[in-house]
A and B are shown apart, each in its own frame.
Chain A
Amino acid sequence: MTLLWIPLLTLLGVLVPALTARRGRGFCTLATVTLPAMALLLTLSQVPALLDGELPRVALSWIPSLGLDLAFRMDGLSLMFATLILGIGLLIILYAHFYLSAGEPYGRFYAYLVLFMLSMLGIVMADNLLLLWIFWELTSLSSFLLIGYWSHWTDARKGARMAMTVTGAGGLALLAGFLLLGDMVGSFDLGVVLSSADVILADPRYPVMLVLVLLGAFTKSAQFPFHFWLPHAMAAPTPVSAYLHSATMVKAGIFLMARLHPALGDSELWGWLVTLTGMTTFLYGAWFALLKTDLKAILAFSTVSHLGLVTALLGIGSPMAILAALFHILNHATFKGALFMSAGIIDHETGARELGKLGGLRRAMPITALLTTITAASMAGVPLLNGFLSKEMFFTETLDTALLGGLGWLLPVLATLGGILSVAYSLRLVHGVFFKPAKEVPPKSPHEPPRLMRAPVELLATLCVAVGLFPAALATGILDLATRAVLREPLDFHLAIWHGVNLPLVMSLAALAAGITAYGLHSNIRHFARQFAPIDARLVFEGTIQSLVARTQTLTHRLENGSLQRYMSLLLGTALLLATLGLVELPELAGDKPTQPLDAMLVLGSALMIFAALGTAITHRYRLISLLMLSVVGLVVSLTFARFSAPDLALTQLSVEVVTMILLMLALFFLPQKTPQESSASRIIRDLVLAGTLGMVVASLNYAVLTREIDSIAGFFIANSVPGGGGHNVVNVILVDFRGFDTLGEITVLALAGLAIFKLLNRLRLFMPHSDGEGRVWSPDRYPMILTTVSQALLPLALLVAAFIFLRGHNMPGGGFIAGLVTAVALILVYMARGVEWTQNRLDFPYQPVAIGGVAVATLTGLGSWLFGRPFLTSAFGHFHIPLVGDIELATAMLFDLGVYLAVVGATLMILANLGKLTTPHRPTKEAPAVSRKETPAPPSEEAPLILDTEKSQRPSKEKA
C-alpha cells in the first residue's frame, strides 16, 4: 500500500497550493513542497526491496469491465524516473518561487505543476496499460494548462493548443495501439504484456499496433516529423520549460519505448523505425539548434536532438544500448534542467533571451557563467562530465550495431556529425552569452540572481561533475536497477571514464575539434543556411490549419449557404444515388408479370397527365393557369381510377378535387398576386435534371415492383366483403366495417381540423385585392346571373344525387364520404354564386354541431354494439322487405356511414365557408396596416395587408400561429 501513497500524496499536493495561496508566497511554496518531498522519500524507501529483487506492486479494481485497474508497480525503471520527476520537480518549484513575478497567481501555477508531476508519476508507475494511457492524456492536459499559463499572450495560447493537439492525436493513436495490444495478449496488465513478447511478435497485427504505439511515443517525445510543437511550447514560463522539456513530458515517450521494449522491441521493424527516426531527429534538432538565436529555442532544439539520440539507442536495442539510453536520460535531465534554469535566470535578470542582445555577462554574473559553462560542456560531451560518458557509449553502440547491414558505417558517421553540431551549438550558447562582447545594452542591468534561485542550478551542475568523475560510484546502482527492469535480467556492466584509446574516443575528440572549428565557421554556416527558405514548423502547422480552415470555409460556403433549395437538392441527390445503386443491382427491370395492353385511351390519358403536370410547374407564376393545369391532372387521375374499375375512388377523387381546387383558389386569392421570378437559368436546369432523374428512378422502381407478383391483402377483403360486411362495394365495406375504427379516427381528425380552422380564421379579416397579378381589375359584378340561376337549380338535384349515392353506397359505388363531398360542393356553389351573407341568412345554422354530430353518430353506432355484448364497432346487417320498394338491405354500417356523411359536410363547409368569409369589402383605414404591421411579426405583403378585429384580438400573433 506504500506504493499507492506516492501518487496519492502528490494528488493531495495539487490541492495544497490552492488552499494555502492566500497565506503568502513563502508559506505556499513550502507547503507545496512538503507532500512531493514525502512522496520522494517514499519512493526512495522502495530501494531496499528492489535490491532484494522484489517487485513492489499494488492493484485495486477500478473498472473491471474495461480491464482498467488502479495498479501501480515500482521496478527499477519506475524508480529511476520517479526519482527524476520528483527530484527535479522539487527543484523547479523552488526555482519558480523566485522566477514568477509578485503579481502572478502562483497558487494556480504550483497546482498545475504538481498536477503535472502526478500525471508523470502515474505514467511511470502504472502497471496497467489503460491506466498508463489515462495518465498519459493527463500529462497532455496539464501541460496544456502550464504552457498556456500566460494566457493573455497569444503565442502561449497557440503554443499550448498546438502541443495539446499534436500530443492528443498521438495519444489517441496510442490508445488504439494499446487496445490492440491488449486484444493480442488478452490483458492490459503490464506484467502479462511484458512477458508475452512471443505472442505479440507472432501476431499478424503487430506492425499496425507497433506503428500506432510509436506514433504516440514519437509525438510525445517530439520526434521528427512531430517535433514542431516543442519549440513553440517554449512560450511557457521557463520553470515549465525546464521541467517539461528536460526531465518529464518529453521523456514520457522515451519511457514508453523503454517500458515496452521487452515486449515489442525484438523485431526488425522496431529497429528500423525507431533508430532511423531517432537519428533523423538527432541531426535535425542539432542543426536547428545551431541556427536559432533565441536561448530557449536553442535549448528546445537541442532537447529535440538529444531525445533523438536516446530514441536511436532504444532502437538499436542491444543491452548496452539500453544502458546507454537510460544513462543519457539521467544525464540529459540534469544538464538540460540546469541549462533551462540558467536561461531563465539570464532572461529574468537581463530581460533578454536573444543571443544578439546578450554578451559579456561573465563579469556581471560570474557564478551563473561558470555553472552554465559546466552544464553546456556536459551537453557537448566534454570529457570528465557526465554527458561525455553517455555520448561515448552512444558512439560505441553505433559502431557495434548490425542494423543497416552494408550501410552500417553510416550510423557512426551520422552520430559523429551530430556530435560536431552539438559541440558547436553548446559553444555558441556559452560564448555568445558570457564571453563575446555585448552588441547592445540589455533591458535590465544584469546581476547575479538570489542565492536560492541559483541553488537548483548549482546542485545539478555539481551532479554533472560528480557523475562525470565518479560514474561507477554514483550511477551504477540506479542504472543497474533500471536496466534490470528493461532487460528482465541483470546486466554486468562497468561505468568508467577511461576505456583506452579506441574508436569512440577518437570520434569524441574529432567531434570536439570539428565542433570548435564549426563554431568558428559559424557565420559561414548561417550564411549558407540562409540560402534555404526557413521552414518554420509553426508556420507549417498554422499554415496547414489555416489552409484547412480556408478550405473548410469554402466547403461551408459551397454546402451550407443557408439556402433551403440547395439543401433540398443535395438531399434529393443523395437519396437518388442510394436508390439508383439499388436499381443498378437489379438484373432485369421488368418482372415476369405480364403487362396490360396499351390502348389509345391510356396513351392519351397519360400524355395529358404528363403535359398537365409539366404545365403546372412551368406556369406556376401564373396562378390561374397553373391551377387549371393542376385540375386537369386531378381529372385524369380520377378518370384513370374509373378506367381501372375503381369507380368509388374515381368519385371520391373527383369530389375531393373540386373541393381542393376551391380551397386553393380561396387561399391563393389572398396571397400576393405576383410571384417574382426567383430561379436563375442554371438553377432551373439543375432542378429539371434532378426532378427528371428522380422521376425516372422512382418510376423504374415502381415498374420493377409492379411487374412482379406481390402478396397482397386485397384478396381477403374481396372474399369477405359480402359474408363479413354484407356489402358488395368492397371499398365502402372496408371504410365502414373492416376498418371502421380507422375511419372513426379520420372523421374525428377532420372535424377537429375544421374546428381549428374555424377558430383560427374566426377573427381574421383580409382586405380583398382589387386586381389580379397582371393588374386586371376583378369583375365588379360579384354574383353573375347565370351562375346564380344554375346553382339554384343544381342544389336540389345535387342533394338528391348525394342521398342516392349515400343509400346505394353499401353495395354499389358510393358511400357517406362521397355523398358528403357532393353535398358540400353543391352548397359551396351556392355560396359562390350568392355570396356568403346571402347564403348564411338562409342557411341559418352553424356547421360545427353538424360535424361534431357526425362524429357522435359514428361513435354511438360503435358503442351500440356494446349493448349487445359485442366488441366496439361490431356491425350487423339484415335484409328487410318493404312493400312497394322491394327488398332492401340495412346494416348498422349505414348508420356509421351517416356519421361519416355529416362529419364530412360539416367540416368541409366549416373550412370553405370560413375562408370565403375572410374578405371584407371595407378598405383599410390609414392607421390599420401600420398597427398590424407593428404587431405581427411577419409583415404581410403589400397587396393584402392584414386587418384585424381590433376590439377582440389582443394577441394577433397567437391567431396567426
Chain B
Amino acid sequence: MTLTMTHLMALLPLIVVCATAITVMLGIAWRRHHGGTAAVTVIGIVLTLAMLLPIWTMAPVEVPLLVVDGLALFAGAMILISSLTCAALAYVYLDNYPGPREEFYLLLLCAAAGGMVLAASRHLATLFVGLELLSMPLYGMLAYAFSERRSLEAGIKYFILSAAATAFLLFGMALLYAQVGRLDLPAVAAVLGERPTAWGLAGIGLLLVGLGFKLSIVPFHLWTPDVYEGAPGPAATFLASASKVAVFVVLLRLVLSTPAFQDDWLRGVLAVLALAGMLVGNLLALVQSNLKRLLGYSSIAHFGYLLVALVVGDGLATETSGVYLLTYLVTTLGAFGVVTLLSSSYSGEDTAALHHYRGLFWRRPYLTAVLTVSLLSLAGIPFTAGFIGKFYIIALGVEAERWWLVGGIIVGSAIGLYYYLRVMVTLYLVEPGMRRRDAPRDWGGRAGGVVVLGLALLVVMLGVYPAPMIEWVRLVEHITVR
C-alpha cells in the first residue's frame, strides 16, 4: 500500500509523541534542566491531545500494522491524559530527588508511545512491539529511585516476571501463527473462526497469560502489591493507569474481533478469572496497612469487574468497558496523585503507610477531600464517577444473566466498601503525637496539585452528569473497527 496524507495524519499523534521523546533525549544530552524537560514533555503531550480532535473526524484509518479507530483514539486520549498527570506529578515528586531527574520524562514518553501503539495494533507484531515499548521504560521508571531498596526490588520483580509472561505471550503467538500462517488480527480472526483447534486454543490461552499478567488478573496478580508499593509515586501512577488501559484495550479488541474468544471454554476461563479477581483482590485488600498496596489490590478487583465485560463480549461490552475504564482512570489518577503529592517532599520511601494518613484532614483538608472523593468513587458511591462504571458493569451482568458474576460484584463491592471506609475514617481521626508527613504547603499551586484538584472535580462531574461521557463512548464504539 502507499502511504497517503490521511494515513500520515492518522499516525501523527504517535509521531509527535516519539518526536517529543527524541527532543527530550537530545535536550538532556545537551543540557540538563528539570523544568525545561518537563515543559517540553507537557507541551508535546498537550499538542498530541489537541491533534486527536481533527483525527477523530477521519477515523477509522487502517494501515497494515495499525488501525486508528475509535478504540485506539479513545485509549490514546486516556494514555495521554495519564501521562500528562504523571508528568505533572513527577515534576513535583522529583523536585527534591538527588539523582538525575530528566530521564524520567524520556521513559514516560517512550512508554506512552508504546501504549498508543499497543492500543492501535491490528497485527501481532505491533501488539508485541507496543507491549514491549510500554513495559521496557516502565522497568526503568519503577526502579527509578534505585537507591531505595523497594523501588529497585519493584523494578527487578516486574522485569523478571514480565519477561516470563512475555515469553508465554510469544509462544502463544507462535502457536497461533502455526495454525493461521498470518499475523494480522483480521486474518487470525478469520482463520480461527468460531471454534479454534486445540493448539489455537492453547495459543489464545497463552496470549491471555501474557496480557493477563500486565492487567494483574488473578492468578497473575502477585507482583502487583509489591510493585505498587515499591515504585516511586509517578511510576506507580502510570503503571496503574496508562499501562492497564492500553493492555485492556488490546485485550478488548482481541475479544471483540476474534470469534474464537467467544468460545464457551474461553468464556468460562474468563468468568472464573473475573470472579477470582473480584474476590481475591477485595479480600486481600482487607488486611493491608499500606495505601499503595491497598490500591494495588483494589485495582486487581476492579479489573476483575472489568473482565465481566469481556465475558459478556457483546455490543454493550465496548460501551461498558469504555465507561468503566474512563471512570477508573480518573479515579485512580486522583488517588495516586494524592499519595504522590504527599510523598513528594521526602526523599526515601513514599508516604503510603495508613498511619501517615491519620488525621490528614486536619492538616490538608482539600487534599483529603480529593482522596475521599477518589475512594468514594473507587467504592462506587453515587454522585461519583465510579458509580457510573459500577452501574454499567452490574447492568451488563444482569442483562446477560450471569448471576455468579453479579453476585461476585455485589459481594466484592461490599467488602470494598468496608476497607475504603476504613481508610476514609482514618483520614478524619485526630490523634496526638502522630508522625506528620505532609504535602508541601503550597501543593495546590503546583502543577501536580492543580491536576489532582482537577481530577477530583472531574470525578464528581462525571458522577453527577455523565451524559457527555456516555455519548462520547458511544461515539467511540461507533467508529471502532470490528
Chain A positions within 8 Å of B, measured between CB atoms, are: 62-66, 133-134, 137-138, 141, 144, 148, 151-152, 157, 161, 164-165, 168-169, 172-173, 175-176, 179-180, 183, 205, 208, 545, 548-549, 552-553, 555-556, 559-560, 562, 564, 566-568, 570-572, 574-575, 578-579, 581-587, 698, 701, 704-705, 708, 710-712, 937-938, 955, 957-958, 961
Instruction: Give Cα A735 to B283, complex, Å.
Output: 54
Q: B213 touches which one: A552, A562, A571, A708 (CB < 8 A)? A: A571
Q: Given the known inter-chain contacts A161-B421, A582-B203, please indicate yes or no for A183 contacting B222, CB distance below 8 A.
A: no
B410 near A564: Cβ-Cβ < 8 Å: no
A701 x B202 contact (CB < 8 A) = yes
* Chain B interface residue bracket vs A: 35 or more
Contact, CB under 8 Å: A169 / B287: no
Contacts of A172 in B (CB 8 A): 394, 409-410, 413-414
From 269 to 326 in chain B, residues with beta carbon under 8 angstroms from any chain A beta carbon are 269, 283-284, 286-287
CA distance A553 to B284 in the complex (A): 7
Contact B198 A582 (CB under 8 A): yes
A-chain residues with CB within 8 Å of residue B466 when the two chains form the complex: 63, 66
Q: Does B193 contact A (CB under 8 A)?
A: no
- A572 — which chain B residues lie within 8 A by C-beta? 164
Known A-B contacts A701-B199, A705-B199; A574 and B209 likewise in contact (beta carbons under 8 Å) = yes
A548 / chain B contacts, CB cutoff of 8 Å: 283, 286
Write 27 A-B pairs (CB below 8 A) sorted by A numbering.
Answer: A63-B467, A65-B474, A133-B382, A134-B382, A134-B383, A137-B381, A157-B425, A164-B421, A165-B418, A183-B398, A205-B401, A208-B403, A555-B283, A556-B284, A560-B222, A564-B157, A564-B160, A568-B160, A571-B161, A571-B220, A575-B165, A579-B202, A579-B206, A581-B265, A584-B198, A705-B178, A955-B99
Contact status B421-A586, CB under 8 Å: no
- The secondary-structure label for the interface of chain A is helix
| B205: interface (CB < 8 Å) | yes
Q: Which of A137, A582, A957 contacts B99 (CB 8 A)?
A: A957
Report if B114 contacts A (CB, 8 A): no
Out of B164, B197, B422, which one reaches A161, CB within 8 Å? B422
Q: Report the number of A-B residue pairs with Cβ-Cβ less than 8 Å.
A: 182
Residues of chain A lying within 8 A (CB to CB) of residue B395: 179
Q: In the bound complex, do residue B208 and residue A578 qualify as a contact, i.e. CB atoms below 8 Å apart?
A: yes
A173 closest partner in B (C-beta): B410
Considering the complex, give the chain A residue whose CB is closest to the CB of B174: A705
Q: CB distance A169 to B417 under 8 Å?
A: yes
B95 CB–A CB distance under 8 Å:
no
Q: Are B181 and A711 in contact, CB atoms less than 8 angstroms apart?
A: yes
A586-B198, A958-B99 given; name 11 further pairs at CB < 8 Å.
A161-B418, A164-B417, A169-B410, A549-B286, A553-B287, A578-B205, A582-B202, A585-B201, A587-B198, A937-B152, A957-B99
Cα–Cα, bound, A571→B209 (Å): 8
Chain A residues, CB < 8 A from B438: none
- The answer, among B198, B208, B417, for a CB contact under 8 Å with A168, is B417
A218 to chain B, nearest CB (A): 14
B168 within 8 A of A: yes
CA A152 – CA B61 in complex, angstroms? 60
| Interchain nearest-CB distance for A101 vs B (Å) | 17
Q: With A173-B410, A559-B222, A710-B178 as known contacts, state yes or no: A567 contacts B157, CB within 8 Å.
A: yes
Q: How many angstroms between the C-alpha atoms of A65 and B474 in the bound complex?
A: 10
Which B residues touch A157, using CB under 8 A?
425
In the complex, are the beta carbons of B219 and A176 less than 8 A apart? no
Q: Is B132 an interface residue (CB 8 A)?
A: no
Does any Cβ of A come within 8 Å of B365's Cβ?
no
* Complex contact A582–B394 (CB within 8 A): no
Tell whether A562 pairs with B202 under 8 Å between CB atoms, given A179-B398, A568-B164: no
Cα A307 to Cα B286 in complex, Å, equals 33
Q: How far is the CA of A342 from the CA of B430 in the complex (A)?
A: 32
Of listed A548, A578, A585, A711, residue having the most chain B CB within 10 A: A578
Q: Which DSSP category, helix, strand, loop or mixed, fits chain B's interface?
A: helix
The 8 Å CB contact of B286, one of A148, A552, A570, is: A552
Asked if B226 contacts A704 (CB within 8 A), the reply is: no
CB distance from B347 to the nearest CB of A (A): 13
Min distance, Cβ A150 to any Cβ of chain B, angstroms: 12
Question: Inside 8 A of A208's CB, which chain B residues have their CB?
Answer: 403
Query: Do A574 and B219 touch (CB < 8 A)?
Result: yes
Nearest residue, chain B, Cβ from A205: B401
B407 to chain A, nearest CB (A): 9
Q: Given A205, A555, A564, which contacts B161 in the complex, CB threshold below 8 Å?
A: A564
Cβ–Cβ contact A169 & B413, under 8 A = yes
> For the complex, what is the distance from the CA of A88 to the CA of B417, rounded to whole Å?
30
Interface presence of B36 (CB below 8 A): no
Using Cβ atoms and an 8 Å threshold, which residues of chain A touch B171?
Answer: 698, 701
Chain B window 386-429, contacts with chain A (Cβ cutoff 8 Å), 1 for yes, 0 for no: 00100100110111010100100111011001100110010011
Q: Does B96 contact A (CB under 8 A)?
A: no
In the assembled complex, how far is the CB of residue B105 from the closest CB belonging to chain A, in whole angstroms?
A: 16
A961 and B146 form a contact (CB under 8 A): yes
Chain A residue nearest to B191 (CB atoms) is A711
Q: Is the CB of B425 within 8 A of A571?
A: no
CA distance A141 to B380 in the complex (A): 12
**B366 contacts the other chain (CB 8 A):** no
**B471 contacts partner chain A, Cβ-Cβ < 8 Å:** yes
Is B286 in contact with A137, judged by CB distance below 8 angstroms? Answer: no
Knowing A180-B398, A578-B269, A705-B178, say if A556 contacts B287 (CB, 8 Å): yes
Contact B178 A937, beta carbon cutoff 8 Å: no
Is B175 an interface residue, CB under 8 A from the partner? yes
Q: B222's contact among A63, A545, A567, by CB below 8 Å, is which?
A: A567
Contacts of B164 on A, CB cut-off 8 Å?
568, 571-572
Contact A176–B398 (Cβ < 8 Å): yes
Q: Does B13 sit within 8 A of A, measured CB to CB?
A: no
User: Is B346 positioned at the interface, with any CB of A under 8 Å from its CB?
Assistant: no
| Interfacial chain B residues near A164, Cβ < 8 Å | 417, 421
CA distance A556 to B152 in the complex (A): 22
Asked if B414 and A169 sit within 8 Å, CB to CB, the answer is: yes
What B residues does A560 contact at CB under 8 A?
A: 222, 225-226, 284
Does B147 sit within 8 A of A, measured CB to CB? yes
Taking CB as reference atom, which chain B residue is nearest A557?
A: B287
Given contacts A64-B467, A183-B399, A568-B160, contact A555 B178 (CB under 8 A): no
Bound CA–CA A545/B282 (angstroms): 13
- Nearest-Cβ distance from residue B210 to partner chain A, whole angstroms: 9
Q: Which of A151, A578, A583 is the one whose CB lies under 8 Å from B429?
A: A151
Interface check B35, CB cutoff 8 A? no
- Provided the pairs A63-B470, A548-B283 are in contact, do residues A582 and B205 lie with their beta carbons within 8 angstroms? yes
A134–B381 Cα distance when bound, in Å, is 9
Return the CB mask of B197-234 against A: 1 if under 8 Å, else 0. Answer: 11101110110110001000001101101100000000
| B268 vs chain A, min Cβ distance (A) | 10
Rank and list the top 5 A-B pairs by shortest CB-CB distance, nearest first: A582-B202, A169-B414, A711-B181, A578-B205, A586-B198
- Chain B residues lying within 8 Å of A141, measured Cβ to Cβ, are 381
* Complex Cα–Cα for A961 and B141 (A): 12
Q: For residue B422, which residues in chain A have a CB less than 8 angstroms away from its CB?
A: 161
B100 at interface (Cβ–Cβ under 8 A)?
yes
Given A567-B157, A582-B205, are A65 and B470 neighbors across the interface (CB < 8 Å)? Answer: yes
How far apart are the CA atoms of A957 and B147 in the complex, in Å? 9
- Complex interface: chain A residues within 8 A of B286 (CB): 545, 548-549, 552
In angstroms, Cα B147 to Cα A958, docked, is 11
* Separation of A620 and B168 alpha carbons in the complex (Å): 25
What residues of chain A lie closer than 8 Å to B410, measured between beta carbons?
Answer: 169, 172-173, 176
Which residue of B is nearest A554, CB measured?
A: B287
Cα–Cα distance between A397 and B308 once the two chains are bound (Å): 46
**Are B421 and A176 in contact, with the CB atoms below 8 A?**
no
Taking CB as reference atom, which chain B residue is nearest A209? B398
Tell me if A552 and B284 are in contact (CB < 8 A): yes
Q: How long is the Cα–Cα vector from A152 to B432 in the complex, in angstroms?
A: 12
Which of B100, B199, B201, B206 sits near A958, CB closer than 8 Å?
B100
- The CA of A568 and the CA of B164, in the complex, are separated in Å by 8
Complex Cα distance, B383 from A130, in Å, reads 13
B107 to chain A, nearest CB (A): 12
Interchain CA distance A711-B177 in the complex, whole Å? 9
